[in-house]
Amino acid sequence: MKTKTFEVPVDSIIEFAEIIGDNGLENTMQGINDENEIIVDVHYEWNERQAVFELTELLDPDDDDD
């Protein structure tokens, strides 16, 4: 099982949680960082990686413009 750590802004946490719930991903809230973002570890298997990509896109939609 792989783990990816996300820093989720408070204003995105509901949509983030919905994606996790809709895909049945295991996760652990670790706390908050200095910017008051919620630190969430998402645990996933290879076949669940599309949901992790969706989470990444939610938090950094312009990432593919680099």
Query: Which pTM value belongs to this model?
Result: 0.86
Q: How many Cα neighbours within 13 Å face the side chain of 50?
A: 3
pLDDT band at 56 (very low <50, low <70, confident <90, very high): very high
Instruction: Find the CATH number of the domain harbouring 50.
Output: 3.30.1370
Domain that holds residue 45: 2-65
What 8-state DSSP symbol labels residue 31?
A: E
pLDDT band at 62 (very low <50, low <70, confident <90, very high): confident
**DSSP H or E run through 64:** none
- Considering its fold, how many domains does the chain have in total? 1
Q: Quick one: residue 50, left, alpha or beta (phi over 0 = left, psi -120 to 50 = alpha)?
A: alpha
Interval 36-42 mean pLDDT = 97
Gyration radius of the chain over CA positions: 12
pLDDT above 70: residue 2: yes
pLDDT above 60: residue 41: yes
